[in-house]
Amino acid sequence: MATLDSERKDGETSELRVEEHANDVPGAELHDQAKSGQFGAPELSVKPLLSDSLARLRQVFVQDVGVALPETFARVILRDLDADASFTVPVSLDQASQIAAKVRSIEPPRPLSHQLFSSIMLGFDLRVEYVAITGVKEGNFTAEVTVSSTKGVRTFEARASDAILMALLSDVPVPILADLSLLS
């Protein structure tokens, strides 16, 4: 069981508990898809773009998303695909609901903004190759989104929460990578 603790203003601690049972874990099906290559296993999507900075990255999957009350934001738990290491990324409640819907295989009646953006990108032959959570700067997670087109490959800075959403809600499988320094 993983526990996320947070200290409230009154000094008390609230926690979010996540049971870890292979098939009962929300997102376990995403983990199985990632392991099978449906979410772009590293050997399929990352090696052609491998550089020194990519050597420090590991593929992760969304294990769960939740809120530890009375916090006014949610947390996404990202777990290493091949090891027993994880970390949490704070996200807005709106983003958390979109991530939770995807992890629990709930389809919205209309495309969400990140899905719409992904569809537009595909319409112009742009493809998100992978997203990478690269570190923490001034208390905020930093991330990059790597996009390919007929003109080449470019990497763009992004908020970690937006990068995670782009990967999960894309029309095609996109791996989520994380710097080794974030995995505990």
* pTM recorded for the entire structure: 0.70
Neighbour order of strands in the sheet with 140-149: 86-91, 74-80, 57-66, 176-179, 127-137, 140-149, 152-159
| CA gap 39, 31 in Å, rounded | 9
pLDDT confidence of residue 28:
42
Q: Give the separation between CA 162 and CA 165, rounded to whole angstroms.
A: 5
pLDDT in tens, 156-181: 999 999 999 999 988 788 999 999 99
Rounded Cα distance, 184 and 179, in Å: 11
34 touches 81 (CB < 8 A): yes
- Token output for 31: 């983990």
- The pLDDT of residue 15 is 37
Average pLDDT value for the chain: 76
CATH architecture, domain defined by 2-182: Roll (3.10)
Using a pLDDT cut of 70, give the percent of the chain over it.
Answer: 71
Domain ranges (residues) in the chain: 2-182
Q: 122: pLDDT confidence band, cut at 50, 70 and 90?
A: confident
Contacts with 14 (C-beta within 8 Å, 6 or more apart), sequence order: 5, 6, 8, 68, 69, 70, 71
